[in-house]
Amino acid sequence: MNALSPPRIHESVPPDLSLWVLPTFLLEPIEGGGWRISDQNAAAADFAALAGIDLSRNRQDWLAETDAPGTKGDPLGEQTRVAVSTELTIGSRACRVHVMPWPSAPHLRLMQIVDLTTRRFAETVTRDVINIVNGSGRVLGQTADQIFAIIEGVEQGLRTTETSEIDNRNHVGSLVDNVKSISSLAQNIRAIAAQTNLLALNAAIEAARAGEAGRGFAVVADEVKGLSQRVQAATQSITELVAGIRDVSSGIASACHASMQSVESSHVLLEHSTANVMQMRRVSHVSSLRAAKSGHQLFVFRVQGDLERQQPTIKPEGLTTHHSCGLGEWYEANRLTSLGQMPSFRALEAPHARLHDLVREFASLLHGDDRRRALGLMQNIDRELAATLEAIDVLVRDIEAALA
């Protein structure tokens, strides 16, 4: 049941105010002019407590101060035979007051109150929540981009380290091969030196047999023996040095292997971090888009609410465009990213732009006091709002699938 529509009653029966949802008063005229409350519903009592007004019969001075249309003068006058409404302040509350004569008792007035303070507070809170979600989404997106840039830098560093470690491992392998060759060569030299020493010994023996004639040969044999001994000592040093190089090479190879394992572990960690960043981006985009849905519903609700006011409060030039609203800023920021290549991303722009154009035209018509044409636009506005919200839903599903 519409809150402002009287319930079906039998003629000559006073209204049952409990059937109304809004704060509702039944007013009766006072002799000499003015009005007083003869009945009210529970919602009226709650409203009175919020507004700080007294509903007792001897404390209804606030009723005269409201100056509600149709509540002054002759109750049977022509101006009171139709429903009228206006915005005013009752107690501490900004309100819209609707006054209508009761069909079965024309001398009575039914006054219903729409608490605009509560509605405006709800609008403000909703708008603040939307702004917070939008801001959080932007911060989350920027943080994700910064983290992703850091990850890319670390990944590049790891690739460089990995390449260097592979080169080091290859060089160490070559060094080990060369050390093995040197060790084999040293063993051959030591064998030759041993044979040379044996030959020198045999030559010394033969020189001793030759006596005086072999003295010069004996000197040569001694020199050959000394040379052989020095060669053996040198090959021993080479062998020890090769053993040391082999140990160092083995340590370098182990360090390279450990470093490669660390690089591989870092790659795995970076993959997880990248997945988390993609999740952050997904949450950022989805949060911004869902906030945009609520924001545009509130946007249309606030502008269309001017239709109920005698004087429109929203100026057409103060309305955001499809570029300057939160959704528009998000859209432009992501136009050149991978999201901009999605068909659903491009499909959002047209209904979004038409919605803002229609709302601006609607506000302009209200300011020009052309309410008839403004009313004619409401169906178009509702259609473009539904198309915009549907386009956002499709884009959200695509983003969740792409960044899952």
In tens, the pLDDT along 257-296 reads 777 777 777 777 777 777 777 777 788 888 888 888 888 8
Separation CA 372–CA 114 (nearest Å): 24
Beta-carbon neighbour count of residue 309 at 10 Å?
15
Mean pLDDT, residues 67-74 taken together: 43
pTM of full prediction above 0.95: no
CA dihedral for 191, 197, 200, 204, sign (positive or negative): negative
Q: Say whether pLDDT at 208 is over 80.
A: no
Helix axis angle for 215-304 and 326-334, nearest 10°, is 150
- Residue 3: the pLDDT is 44
CATH number of 144-275: 1.10.287.950
Q: Say whether pLDDT at 317 is over 60.
A: yes
Cα 63 to Cα 34, 113, 169, distances in angstroms = 9, 12, 94
Q: Which comes out higher in pLDDT, residue 373 or 185?
A: 373
Which pLDDT tens digit goes with each residue over 104-119? Answer: 777 788 888 877 766 6
Mean of the per-residue pLDDT values of the chain: 75
Q: Which comes out higher in pLDDT, residue 114 or 365?
A: 365
- The sheet carrying 84-90 orders its strands as 35-40, 24-29, 105-115, 93-102, 84-90
Which pLDDT tens digit goes with each residue over 123-142? Answer: 555 555 556 666 666 666 66
Q: Which comes out higher in pLDDT, residue 21 or 320?
A: 320
Please identify which residue in the block is written with the tokens 């003295």: 215
- Residue 123: the pLDDT is 58
Beta-carbon neighbour count of residue 128 at 10 Å?
10
pLDDT band of 198, cuts 50, 70, 90 = confident
- Residue 393: the pLDDT is 93
DSSP 127-144: HHHHHHHHHHHHHHHHHH
- Residue 338: the pLDDT is 86
Separation CA 55–CA 39 (nearest Å): 10
Tokens of 159: 């690739």
Q: Torsions phi, psi of 120, nearest 5?
A: -65, -35
Q: Say whether pLDDT at 305 is over 80.
A: no
Most confident of 197-211, 241-255, 287-301: 287-301
Contact residues for 122 (Cβ-Cβ < 8 A; gap 6+)? none
- Residue 265: the pLDDT is 77
Most confident of 10-14, 16-20, 89-93: 89-93
Residues of the chain with pLDDT > 90: what percent? 9
Separation CA 249–CA 176 (nearest Å): 6
Q: Say whether pLDDT at 326 is over 70.
A: yes
Q: Say whether pLDDT at 2 is over 70.
A: no
Q: Say whether pLDDT at 337 is over 80.
A: yes
- Report CA 328 to chain centroid distance, whole Å: 15
Tokens of 272: 């997880």
CB contact at 8 A, 189 and 195: no
